[in-house]
Amino acid sequence: MKHKNTSCYRCEETKETSLENLYGYTVCNNCKSKLGLFQDATITRHIKSFAAAHQLDASHPSYKQDVQEKLALLEQQYISKKIKLLHIQERIKSLY
Ligand SMILES: [Zn+2]
């Protein structure tokens, strides 16, 4: 079993000075730079763009709501895929 808190989730880098905890996940500097994290200016632009769309159509979500919905959908998809794989794993064990 890997020590998840002492190595990067993506490349398994273990050099402590290179590691950072992001929302509960350990990430190295190199992999962090590849995540495409948004700058505040980009986030601000999105907030304004979504607010403008909401002005024209009240059913249009705010950027905050949109991000929340995307996270919920992602979580749902992650669980569905995980259940499918765990089921396959269980069937393999019982078949062989
Ligand atoms: Zn890494």
Interval between CA 23 and ligand 1 midpoint (Å): 15
Domain chopping of the chain, boundaries = 1-37, 38-96
Interval between CA 51 and ligand 1 midpoint (Å): 36
Interval between CA 36 and ligand 1 midpoint (Å): 14
Q: Quick one: CA torsion of 57, 45, 33, 20, rounded to 10 degrees?
A: -80
Interval between CA 6 and ligand 1 midpoint (Å): 11
pLDDT tens readout for residues 10-32: 998 889 889 999 999 999 999 99
* Stated pTM of the model: 0.80
Rounded to the nearest 5°, which phi and psi values hold at 58? -65, -20
One-letter-per-residue 3-state SS of the chain: CCCHHHCCCCCCCCCHHHEEEECCEEEEHHHHHCCCCCCHHHHHHHHHHHHHHHHHCCCCCCHHHHHHHHHHHHHHHHHHHHHHHHHHHHHHHHHC
Closest listed residue to residue 29, CA positions, set 10, 2, 43: 10
Interval between CA 11 and ligand 1 midpoint (Å): 4
User: Between 28 and 4, where is the model more confident?
Assistant: 28
pLDDT tens readout for residues 40-50: 999 999 999 99
Interval between CA 49 and ligand 1 midpoint (Å): 33
